Chains A and B, each alone.
Chain A
């Protein structure tokens, strides 16, 4: 009975086991290091609104861009069996377009912000279509295809900005980037929740999730079953384009300026990492969006923990690498198999001992 329960416990979480263990370990580690690390308080920001504050809010808020991108990346990974390494560059382009449209009007109101966001979405979707066409139609490996935009994306953003780093300031933008007056939860967190719900609805009301999985597992078999594999791959890149635009706009709103060199720099690597930590196979096929989102929070929590331990920001990468290697080693198929065999052998021995005891 007990053994059954254990098995059900392990298999119930499935691929989420590793990211959840990672989060649990980080939480325990932080609690031992500093019991007050996770305390949440209510403070007042500059406008006098009550807002939630604390490390945990900082972690959840800071990982917003990463979480949004990780959702899109999961789809691309599942459908194409490869990753898009141009998301950071594409987000810089989307952010530049966002600022460009905002600055072209005379005043910034809700209408112009929505217009700017839609324009950013369209541009990011166009670049997504470009990547998607290379991958789906020309059958090029995703990493190679997106290397093109990775190389020249930030230069395109530079060109859109005219070589400057234009700033925008508006109460609406600060509402998107930090807090809406009267709501104590940071807005980027709400956007992540909204995106997650949108994806959930998308998978609930369409067969996109199933189609994506089948294309990822075996593209030609999916095609023979009447699924348009090319279109599904292309669609995954377009959806990633929307995610890129959202995270680019969050990034711009947070700072109130667009810097094509530093906006979401190196985020492509973190995004792919989030997908992998979430237990998704980077070779495509089955996927779990929730895993990637948790993966994104694991990465951010790790970074913040290291910062809290007074590790200089330039050195964080080295410690991050060690934790990542530990995580992937625990999650590797070989270790899992060895561990599983060891556990079953242990259980076998215990049963033998108890059987002996019963005989006696």
Chain B
């Protein structure tokens, strides 16, 4: 009896928790079915680590985007800012710069974009889509002005740092010739996980984070409650800019080169991850843990498509679109039902 009482929650899940739960459950179902149907590679822990290694910067960017979307805005400049950060850091390092200063440069560029976006959106009341679209154009244009040709980092200290990986030997597997290959995690993943946890704490326990939900849910009520709506919205863009700066640095750690087409389409991937994770574009609903699993789901489906032998490039984007459609419809139906229930 006691056990049943434990299972039965006192209060029902709210929208945020419900959508997040759906995402996490679907992610695990998808991964398990991939293990069962395709087996092989999906059994190795390295598969998960690879997914994290490849997508560390996407996870960081999505965290920032989730904050903005919870606050009821949108930031489509994140991918372009990431690309600009990569290019400028690579050029700076190749001129013989300092690693620490390059990190500051990355954060500075991100912060600058965040400050300008935040100021234009919240204090001048311009539509966020247009402002961040201009930011996208500016960052992409600046990237090509800096260099049209791909640039590789030729900085010994940075390359040493880049080669550093956390190795966990007990999660490794035996290669065919018998040597033990330890599981490898890049430093960027640590940064990404750190970001996810920090943003989760911010959104859950810190006043600023709760204010994001308030202004996204209902701006007028937030204003009545005495929340400084303009400053809160400003902060959401600043945080997003800062995180995309960091994401650029992580991206550079992963690829080790700058290219004008870096992170192309990353903004849409980030938006897709946030949506799959249960963040609504209307604001007020969302969770960064859901976003994290959203990114993983997006990657998993791509991996599944590749490992099932559908190598044509168009299969990946069609399945991604299909999955997006599925999640969006599911969320709409679930939320619609709840609203109907709440009314009756």
Which 4 pairs of residues, A with B, have the shortest CB-CB distance? Answer: A318-B141, A152-B321, A155-B314, A321-B138
Chain A positions 119-156 with a Cβ under 8 Å from a chain B Cβ: 134, 138-141, 143-145, 147-152, 154-156
Which residues of B have CB within 8 Å of A156?
314, 318
| CB contact between A148 and one of B142, B280, B321 (< 8 Å): that residue | B321
Report yes or no: B317 in contact with A152, Cβ–Cβ below 8 A: yes
Report yes or no: B127 in contact with A283, Cβ–Cβ below 8 A: yes
Q: Does B131 belong to the interface (CB within 8 Å)? A: yes
Report yes or no: A282 in contact with B127, Cβ–Cβ below 8 A: yes
Most buried by B among A147, A151, A154, A324: A151
Interface string of B312-336 (1 = CB under 8 A from A): 1111111011101100110011001
Known A-B contacts A143-B281, A145-B328, A156-B318; A333 and B131 likewise in contact (beta carbons under 8 Å): no
Known A-B contacts A147-B272, A151-B268, A315-B145; A329 and B126 likewise in contact (beta carbons under 8 Å): yes
Q: Which residue of A lies closest to B133 (CB)?
A: A269
**A82 CB to closest chain B CB, in angstroms?**
9
**A22 CB to closest chain B CB, in angstroms?**
14
Report yes or no: B129 in contact with A272, Cβ–Cβ below 8 A: yes
**A167 CB to closest chain B CB, in angstroms?**
21
Known A-B contacts A321-B137, A325-B131; A151 and B320 likewise in contact (beta carbons under 8 Å): yes
Interface string of B113-124 (1 = CB under 8 A from A): 000000010011
Q: Does B102 belong to the interface (CB within 8 Å)? A: no
Which residues of B have CB within 8 Å of A319?
141
Q: Does A28 belong to the interface (CB within 8 Å)? A: no
Q: How far is the CA of A158 from the CA of B268 in the complex (A)?
A: 20
Q: Does B134 belong to the interface (CB within 8 Å)? A: yes
Q: How far is the CA of A81 from the CA of B297 in the complex (A)?
A: 30
A→B interface (CB under 8 Å): 83, 134, 138-141, 143-145, 147-152, 154-156, 158-159, 163, 269, 272-273, 276, 281-283, 312, 314-322, 324-325, 328-329, 332-335
Report yes or no: B125 in contact with A273, Cβ–Cβ below 8 A: no
Report yes or no: A314 in contact with B125, Cβ–Cβ below 8 A: no
Q: How far is the CA of A209 from the CA of B235 in the complex (A)?
A: 39
Q: Which residue of A lies closest to B271 (CB)?
A: A147
Which residues of B have CB within 8 Å of A158?
313-314
Which residues of A have CB within 8 Å of B322?
152
Can you name 6 extra interface pairs (CB under 8 A) apart from A138-B332, A141-B280, A321-B136? Answer: A83-B129, A144-B328, A150-B268, A317-B140, A324-B130, A325-B120
Report yes or no: B126 in contact with A332, Cβ–Cβ below 8 A: yes
Interface string of B80-106 (1 = CB under 8 A from A): 000000000000000000000000000
Which residues of B have CB within 8 Å of A281?
127
Most buried by A among B315, B328, B329, B333: B328
Report yes or no: B324 in contact with A328, Cβ–Cβ below 8 A: no
Q: How far is the CA of A282 from the CA of B132 in the complex (A)?
A: 14
**A124 CB to closest chain B CB, in angstroms?**
17
B→A interface (CB under 8 Å): 74, 120, 123-127, 129-131, 133-138, 140-142, 144-145, 148, 260, 268, 271-272, 275, 280-282, 312-318, 320-322, 324-325, 328-329, 332-333, 336
Q: Which residue of B lies closest to A151 (CB)?
A: B321
Which residues of B have CB within 8 Å of A332?
120, 124-126
Which residues of A have CB within 8 Å of B74?
143
Q: How far is the CA of A66 from the CA of B300 in the complex (A)?
A: 37
Known A-B contacts A143-B281, A147-B272, A147-B275; A328 and B314 likewise in contact (beta carbons under 8 Å): no
Q: How far is the CA of A158 from the CA of B315 in the complex (A)?
A: 10
Q: How far is the CA of A141 from the CA of B74 in the complex (A)?
A: 12
Most buried by B among A152, A163, A282: A152
Can you show 24 pairs from A to B with CB atoms below 8 A apart?
A138-B328, A138-B336, A139-B332, A141-B280, A144-B281, A147-B272, A149-B321, A155-B315, A155-B318, A156-B314, A163-B312, A276-B129, A276-B130, A282-B127, A314-B148, A314-B260, A315-B145, A317-B144, A318-B142, A321-B134, A321-B141, A324-B133, A329-B120, A332-B125
Known A-B contacts A150-B268, A321-B141, A334-B124; A141 and B281 likewise in contact (beta carbons under 8 Å): yes
| CB contact between B336 and one of A139, A325, A333 (< 8 Å): that residue | A139
Q: How far is the CA of A159 from the CA of B336 in the complex (A)?
A: 35
Which residues of A have CB within 8 Å of B145?
315, 318
Most buried by B among A83, A155, A269, A335: A155
Which residues of A have CB within 8 Å of B144?
312, 314-315, 317-318
**B208 CB to closest chain A CB, in angstroms?**
24
Known A-B contacts A318-B142, A318-B145, A328-B130; A155 and B124 likewise in contact (beta carbons under 8 Å): no
